[in-house]
Structure 1
Amino acid sequence: MKLAPHLHRIGNDIVAAYLIVTDEGITVVDAGLPGHWKDLTRELDELGRSPRDIRGLILTHGDSDHIGFAERLRREYGVPVFVHEADAERARTGEKPKVATGRMRFGPTLGFFAYALRKRAVPTTYVSEVIEVHDGDVLDLPGAPSIIGMPGHSPGSIAVHSALADAVFVGDALTTRHVLTGRTGLQPAPFTDDPAEASASLDRLAGLEASWVLPGHGAPWRGSPAGVAAAVRTAAA
């Protein structure tokens, strides 16, 4: 789905990933679930491109519903996979603490897990090799993506800002559709390791200029990052 001249989304409001598209190549942000490979190749076909045009894949964090086709893209096409150093082990092994899920409603929760199974979430294919990134890095990839540390959901959660795409990709730093309750609108994401730290990290969005705030779950959001951060805090109160 084309959102803007350099910006495309694959997946849906349950699980999404994004493409920054330039003449020089493509940067992918997050890899959804393994079954999103077909969504990726379909989107590339519509663009007249192929996986060989992808110059890098950036993971906003290392959870299984964000690393789906990462290893396939790395192994079959040699695409480097970037993840924050604090989530590198999570992306390679899945090791992480158990956290409380919070409120749940049967229908949306069942729908989330059913969708995950349809997209071949089990078994998870972890990423054998990653390139570690750090807060403040600007990567030599299409769209000149910059890394903003957003710890809380996981220790190595990041946002990815691209001025060319006029967007900030926030992973699970927030959501616009809670996968366990079905509630829509700006709000904290579930399965968060440290909710207080995640809330504090929202300050990192306030200084960014972008028209799009793009979560890993939920509809794309048009609005300033600063306004989004404030709205998420209000929803959490």
Structure 2
Amino acid sequence: MIKIEELALPYHYNNETHFIYPTLIIDNNDLTLVDTGYPQFLPMIEQRIIALGYKMNDLKNIIITHYDDDHIGSLFDFKVKYPHLKIMASAIEKDAIEGTTKSERLLQAEKMLEVLPDTQKEFGQAFIKQLTCLKHVQVDTIVSNGDCILSNECVVISTPGHTSGHISLHIPALKTVITGDAAIVEHNELKIANPHFCLDIETAQQSLHSIKHMDVERYYCYHGGKIERAIITNK
């Protein structure tokens, strides 16, 4: 039997508290974490998992939806502490995660820095530094659109736009989609995550449209948390 737990993780930005929502997939006794939060989030994630009654030794996999600092920030720390973990990602994201190519986000940040006004240069430089400080790990399993993973209970969905290799996860038995940043919850709507950092708005809109029209009952969004289809507004 498969189930999902939502991990609400607070972080502070501009003197405000915000949350991100990695998900934990429970497949019988095996645990799979979807995305790892910002750097230094490993202890907080461990606390949440243990508080839910699970054991860290049962964590077998980490699935990375895409390369962004709030999604892979603690991936290296997880791999160091739990070397048995299998890392899954799409082929496009794999190269950035392993450090064989610059991530699309870093390339975008470097390009944006060239045109940022002086008042925003400091932010741009800090963002680039944060991205370049991320440590690399080996990806064990490349997943593609339509792949059935986790005892065939979870279907990989290609949802490009936010990044080229972004993936989401469909769990048919639960009528659920784990969206990553292909969709966020805002005012009871599913929207594109942070359009200013979206690499391809048109493709992202297509991915969002596909997600919205799937035969599912709920969405687990990394930004905004879980939302039931019944309360989504269609504006």
Change (3 A) 1:130 1:64: farther
Instruction: Report the equivalent of 2:143.
Output: 133
Rounded to whole Å, the distance in 1 between the matches of 2:208 and 2:4 is 25
Tell me if structure 2 keeps the 8 A contact 1:10–1:39.
no
Q: TM-score, normalised by structure 1?
A: 0.73
Query: Which residue, out of 162, 173, 185, partners 1:176?
Result: 185
Change (3 A) 1:6 1:199: closer
Following TM superposition, the consecutive aligned residue runs of length 4 or more in structure 1 with deviations greater than 4 angstroms are none
Equivalenced residues, count: 206
AA of the residue aligned to 1:218: G
Instruction: Report the equivalent of 1:146.
Output: 155
Instruction: Report the equivalent of 2:192.
Output: 188
Identity %: 21
Change (3 A) 1:80 1:187: same
Larger displacement relative to structure 2 (148-157 or 199-208): 199-208
Question: Rg: which structure is higher?
Answer: 2
Pairwise mapping of residues 1-237 of structure 1 onto structure 2 (< 5 A)?
Answer: 6-12=4-10, 13-77=18-82, 78-93=84-99, 94-96=102-104, 97-98=107-108, 123-140=133-150, 144-177=153-186, 185-190=189-194, 191-206=197-212, 208-223=214-229, 231=234, 234=235
Indicate the structure whose relative CO is greater, using CA pairs within 8 Å and at least 6 residues apart.
1
Rounded to whole Å, the distance in 2 between the matches of 1:24 and 1:200 is 36
Rounded to whole Å, the distance in 1 between the matches of 2:72 and 2:62 is 10
Q: Which has the higher helix share?
A: 2
Instruction: Report the equivalent of 2:119.
Output: none
1:190-217 deviation digits (Å, cap 9, x = unpaired): 1110000111122432453333212221
CA RMSD of aligned residues (A): 3.3
Tell me if structure 1 keeps the 8 A contact 2:5–2:23.
yes
AA of the residue aligned to 1:87: E
**Structure 1 residue 121, shift from structure 2 partner:** 8.1
* Unaligned 5+ runs, structure 2: 11-17, 114-122
